[in-house]
Amino acid sequence: MTDGLVDIFRETRAVLLDFDGPVCRIFAGLPAASAAEGLKRLLRGQGAELPQDVAELDDPLKVLRRTADFAPELVDKVETALMAYEIKAVDFAEITPGARDLLAACAGTGRPVVIVSNNSEPAIERFLDHAGLDKSLAGVVGRPIGAPAEMKPHPRSVLRACEMTDVRPDEAVLIGDSWFDMEAAINAGARSIAYANAEGKDVTLAQAGADVVSKDMREIAAAVRASR
């Protein structure tokens, strides 16, 4: 275990947890690419002409984000459709190895945990409820409905989670698996741990400004325990 991991928990009081990646793979069973295709079909059906970069997207969250630029009048429709895909997807989502362990370690050391996600709250809450994890959390901050520009890397959700747990941003650590997570933490003035769950992410997420990188949620959980 790296000393940096233990140190970061010694220096913070609240844990902010990205959902897709550190908690589960939300699109493990209902692929993200098919949700993205569904959203593009909806946009075309509403008469929107898709920019080339959007036509090539396979991430439904990116389709939503870009819709605000080229078809802002359709953001609500795309949002509603994406929420329906996410709710369907969570029933086939796979919990991340070590996620339960991390939540138990945080509970055992008196650390509040808030989910900070670009996924929608109803889907996140459904997953947590089905996994029996809803009681392990101090709160859930999902995507701001109808305001895709305020998704991470915007600091809104991180700052909201800090308010919920009554800590200053620099007393919170965000655990996430994407470039946007690292940027959101920086933009809010919070600390960050990169969960490098794919080849090469240890390098890219360090470049994105991660304070510490780990490839295993169980290692992060062990650091929480070692920090007390």
Show contacts with Mg ion in window 159-218 (CB under 5 A): 177-178
Instruction: Decide if 117 contacts 19 (C-beta within 8 A).
Output: yes
Long-range CB contacts for residues 98-101, cutoff 8 Å, separation at least 24 = 98/216, 98/217, 98/218, 98/219, 98/220, 98/221, 99/22, 99/23, 99/24, 99/133, 99/217, 100/133, 101/217, 101/218, 101/221
- Which residue of 21, 144, 153, 169 would you call a contact of Mg ion, by CB under 5 A? 21
CB of 32 to Mg ion, least distance (A): 11
Instruction: Rank residues 95 and 226 by Cβ distance to Mg ion and give the closer one.
Output: 95
CB of 29 to Mg ion, least distance (A): 17
Show contacts with Mg ion in window 81-120 (CB under 5 A): none
Instruction: Decide if 198 contacts 21 (C-beta within 8 A).
Output: no
In the three-class reduction of DSSP (H, G, I as helix; E, B as strand; rest coil), residue 27 is classed as: coil
Instruction: Rank residues 42 and 144 by Cβ distance to Mg ion and give the closer one.
Output: 144
Based on its alpha-carbon atoms, the radius of gyration of the chain, rounded to whole angstroms, reads 17
- Which residue of 12, 18, 195, 220 would you call a contact of Mg ion, by CB under 5 A? 18
Instruction: Rank residues 20 and 121 by Cβ distance to Mg ion and give the closer one.
Output: 20
Total Cβ atoms within 10 A of residue 69: 12
CB of 222 to Mg ion, least distance (A): 21
Instruction: Decide if 97 contacts 217 (C-beta within 8 A).
Output: yes
Instruction: Rank residues 48 and 196 by Cβ distance to Mg ion and give the closer one.
Output: 196
Residue nearest to Mg ion (CB): 21
Kindly state whether residue 121 participates in binding Mg ion, applying the rule CB under 5 A: no
Instruction: Rank residues 174 and 224 by Cβ distance to Mg ion and give the closer one.
Output: 174
CB of 228 to Mg ion, least distance (A): 27
To the nearest 10°, the Cα dihedral for 14, 211, 105, 114? 40
Instruction: Rank residues 178 and 192 by Cβ distance to Mg ion and give the closer one.
Output: 178
The residue among 228, 225, 170 whose CA lies nearest residue 1 is: 225
- Which residue of 5, 15, 16, 20 would you call a contact of Mg ion, by CB under 5 A? 20
Contacts with Mg ion, residue ranges (CB under 5 A): 18, 20-21, 177-178
